[in-house]
Amino acid sequence: MATPNVASSSLLQNVSRYEDVKDAAKKTNEDMGKQEFLTLFTAQLQNQNPLEPVKNEAFVAQLAQFSQLEALTNMQGSLDNFVKSYSGERMLGSAALIGKKVSVIDTPTQLTTGGVIDGSIDLPMGASQVQLSVHDSQGRLVQELVAGPQLPGTAPVSWNGKDATDKPAPSGLYRLSATATVNGKSVPVPVSTLSTVRAISSNPADGSVSVEVDGGKTMLLTDVKRVGS
């Protein structure tokens, strides 16, 4: 009777060690990976009860799961390589935007000597009046313009590059802001202007591509809605 007790004790120890391996795999990674699965599978083979071995069907099922896991792991690696390659191509393709003008909301826009700055504002409910303010890079008010009633939709705005004394403003960065009177209330309205793209950058973490425009502001390429010459 002594021998069965020793074997039983040995089996309990083996089971305990198998559970240790299982717990360690869980602590290492919440989502079981290829290596963790293989470690648990090997521990199960080494510590199975010789009097009640695992059935062949169970082993076949586990091997099938392992094959699926390995295929998914290889697929993930291929997808990661594809994303990296695609991100590089997107960045190279986006380089053609450098020197082009893109529509940007609430950002300083470059004024050239004798030039103008055009933009647009969204008025889904229309407005009884729109006031456009122009500030220079130091935040000083340069010009104020007032427009009458506007229909619902997108309304164009434009500054001719002249200050309040009707003199041409010096070249530089200027910010356009607008206030609309809607239902008797004055509300700020974002102004979209065309700003020149100065640089293109890529985020290695997620592969997203960003564009840098005049004034140092950056925006995602996916947020670019309009491109001009």
Dump pLDDT digits (tens) for 94-119. Answer: 778 888 888 888 888 889 888 999 88
Q: What is the pLDDT of residue 132?
A: 95
Per-residue pLDDT, 228: 75
Per-residue pLDDT tens for 184-216? 999 999 999 888 888 888 887 777 888 888 878
What is the C-alpha to C-alpha distance for residues 18 and 74, in angstroms, rounded to an integer?
Answer: 28
Give CATH for domain 97-228: 2.60.40.4070
> C-alpha angle 206/212/218, rounded to 5°?
60
Which stretches of the chain score pLDDT less than 70?
A: 1-35, 37-38, 40-41, 44-46, 48-64, 66-67, 69-70, 74, 77-92, 229
In sequence order, the 6+-apart residues with CB closer than 8 A to the CB of 193 are 103, 104, 107, 109, 117, 118, 119, 176
Please tell me the pTM assigned to this model: 0.56
- The structural domains of the chain, with segments of one domain joined by +, span 2-93, 97-228
Question: Greatest CA span in the chain, whole angstroms?
Answer: 112
User: Which DSSP string do the residues of 184-196 spell out, in sequence order?
Assistant: TEEEEE--EEEEE
